[in-house]
Amino acid sequence: MDKVYESPEAAISDLADGASIAVSGFGQSAGSPMSLLEALHKRGSRDLCLVGNTIPPGAGPLIDERRVRHLIMSFTSRAGRLSATDELLADGVMTYELVAQGTLVERLRAAGAGLGAIYTPTGLNTPIADGKDIRYFDGRPYVLETALRVDYAFIAAHRADRSGNIEFRAANQHFGPSFAKAARVAIVEVDEIVEDGELPPERIDLPGIFVARVVRTTVPNTLPKYGLKRRPADVAREYHGKPGWTRVQIAEQAARLLPEPSYVNLGLGIPSYVSSFIKDRDIVLHGENGILGYGDIVDDEETYPDVFNATGVSVTPRPGISYFDSVTAFEMVRSGRVDVVVMGAYQADAEGSVANWATPEMTGGGIGGAMDLVASTQAGGSVMVLMEHCDSQGRPKLVQRCTYPLTGKACVDVVVTDLAVFRRRDGALTIESVAPGFTAEEVWALTDMEAHTPRT
């Protein structure tokens, strides 16, 4: 059963206008099927629905030419950045549905498994759950999410044989398996095609029964593979002429608070720097892209190809590291096997609620995996938030009640800002320690919540 096609153009020759296409890719461009996207652009297809974690870089021309009618994404917008996509969404030219990352892959997996829907704890008490059925199981609430079937899946992988068996490399598996299983026609572009039998069975990550077509990659991915350029991590923000902790120092403070032994998820941005302070401690780091047991950040993408964290930054593989898809990654979180989740935020409030996916200036937002991660608290996990004390406009990020759309309600246990470490006690945040040169009174004056002193 030879599934190899001569070119990306041949592989999509039957793709009709109005098709729904799940497109793989993590970070800025890791795992993006650039060859298939270019062939799609050349084909002139219109009225498309794109499904994915974030808008793939190769889809930019399709969006600019208004050939995409609908997006189903975990990220449609980024804070502080205005794109052509934002303008089209704001004008209603293109519509969208925001889906939490773990829910996205689970809806696609459900479609591939022949299921009609799933119930998940993700999204409770947030706008994502508005209007959806809520059911209780064992006394806990769950949100109904329907299966998500697509016409096509465009996926990038490392190697394939002629029967369509697929091998991904390291952490670049992420969305590939769930996207392929949900598709009527799954097309995979690969770096290398080998004869049947040349892929060791134990290295087949996606069996050929889920793959309809295979092509060789023809368009090199010349974009930065992992993430956008990071902000300076060693420059401190000043408050009243005094420097707080740098972003790296915030991460260092957080690392000291992590228990041992533990499994710890590190989210985007500041939390990613925590890995530099784990060293030989009995802590195993987890990333929702499908990685468990990584170490320090490395400065290049070639030392350890396709080994990257959830921020999309290259990291060191530690002894015992393992790789898997995003479905498995979120199973680890929602089941409570990850002990601590460390994430960034736009706001956190006195009752421990957190908002980190949308601000009033954004159209849509960037949910990513955060809602799935805070759902871990239902199974006994702990949530730690790392952020600067005020935003770029000088507005406090610690508030009495979140005014931005919630990611999770009353779920945060610890907050570390560039001015202080806070812990939730007696239903409110209390200060445990402050940055050098500051007093607790100065820190409280820079928040928008009532000061709280723990009981003695």
In a domain, 231, yes or no: no
Residue 90 domain flag? yes
| Residue 453 pLDDT class (50, 70, 90 cuts) | low
Phi, psi of 424 (to 5 degrees): -85, 120
Tell whether 306 is covered by a domain. yes
**Is the predicted pLDDT of residue 94 greater than 80, yes or no?**
yes
What tens digit of pLDDT does each residue of 263-280 get? Answer: 999 999 899 999 999 999
Q: Mean pLDDT throughout 157-167?
A: 98
State whether 38 and 176 are in the same domain: yes
Is residue 256 domain-shared with residue 205, that is, in the same domain?
no
| Residue whose pair of structure tokens reads 């030392």 in the numeric block | 303
Single-letter amino acid code for the residue at 384: M
229 within domain boundaries: no
Which residue carries 């598709």 as its tokens? 183
Q: Residues 308, 352: one domain? A: yes
Residue 361 is predicted with a pLDDT of: 83
Tell me the C-alpha to C-alpha distance, in Å, between residue 274 and each of 158, 161, 254, 283: 30, 39, 7, 11
Q: Look at residue 80 and tell me if it is in a domain.
A: yes
SS (H, E, C) the chain: CCCECCCHHHHCCCCCCCCEEEECCECCCECCCHHHHHHHHHHCCCCEEEEEEECCHHHHHHHHCCCEEEEEEEECCECCECCHHHHHHHHCCCEEEECCHHHHHHHHHHHHCCCCEEEECCCCCCHHHCCCCEEEECCEEEEEEECCCEEEEEEEEEEEECCCCEECCCCCCECHHHHHHHEEEEEEEEEEEECCCCCCHHHCCECHHHCCEEEECCCCCCCCCCCCCCCCCCCCCEECCEECCCHHHHHHHHHHHCCCCEEEEECCCHHHHHHHHCCCCCEEEEECCCEEEEEEECCCCCCCCCCECCCCCEEEEEEEEEECEHHHHHHHHHCCCCCEEEECCCEEECCCCEECCCCCCCCCCECCCHHHHHHHHHHCCEEEEECCCECCCCCECEECCCCCCCCECCCEEEEECCCEEEEEECCEEEEEEECCCCCHHHHHHCCECCCCCCCC
Q: What is the pLDDT of residues 31-80, one digit of tens each?
A: 899 999 999 999 999 999 999 999 888 888 999 999 999 999 999 987 76
Going by C-beta distance under 8 Å and a sequence separation of 6 or more, which residues neighbour residue 177? Answer: 109, 205, 206, 210, 325, 327
Mean of the pLDDT values across residues 304-324?
Answer: 93
Q: Which of 167-171, 241-245, 306-310 has the lowest mean pLDDT?
A: 306-310
Higher per-residue pLDDT: 229 or 5? 5
Q: Does a structural domain hold residue 450?
A: no
**Number of domains the chain contains:** 2
Same-domain status, 109 and 36: yes
Q: Give the model's pLDDT for residue 216.
A: 98
| Chain centre to alpha carbon of residue 373 | 10
Maximum CA pair distance of the chain?
A: 73
Structure tokens at 33: 């099927």
Residue 58 lies in a domain: yes
- Give yes or no for residue 128 having a pLDDT over 70: yes
Structural domain boundaries, residue 310: 238-445
Whole-number CA gyration radius for the chain: 22
Catalytic pick among 106, 145, 167, 288: 288
Range in 124-133, 360-369, 428-437 with the lowest mean pLDDT = 360-369
Q: Which two tokens stand for residue 286?
A: 């987890």
Q: What are phi and psi of 189, to 5 degrees?
A: -100, 140
Write the pLDDT tens digit of every residue in 200-238.
999 999 999 999 999 999 998 877 665 544 567 889 999
pLDDT (0 to 100) of residue 336: 92
Judgement on whether residues 160 and 272 belong to the same structural domain of the protein = no
| Sequence-separated (6 or more) residues with CB below 8 Å from residue 135 | 119, 141, 142, 144
* CATH code for the domain of 281: 3.40.1080.10
Residue 9 designated active-site: no
Is 47:26 a contact under the CB 8 Å cutoff? no
Angle of helix 326-334 relative to helix 101-112, nearest 10 degrees, comes to 120
- Lowest-pLDDT range of 21-35, 204-218, 340-354, 402-416: 21-35
**Amino acid letter for position 415:** V
Q: 209 and 242 share a domain? A: no
Predicted pLDDT at 289: 95
Same domain, yes or no: 84 and 164: yes
Cα(69)–Cα(67) distance, integer angstroms: 6
What pLDDT is stored for residue 163 in this prediction?
98
If asked whether residues 244 and 208 sit together in one domain, one would say no
Tell me, yes or no, whether 293 and 416 share the same domain: yes
Are 86 and 189 in a shared domain? yes
Indicate whether 156 belongs to any domain: yes
Q: Rounded to whole angstroms, what are the CA distances from 148 to 81, 151, 206, 209, 273?
A: 29, 10, 19, 19, 35
Domain match, 242 and 164 both: no
pLDDT, average across residues 429-446: 96
Whether pTM exceeds 0.85 = yes
Same domain, 176 and 261: no
Residue 23: CA count within 13 A, CB half-sphere: 30
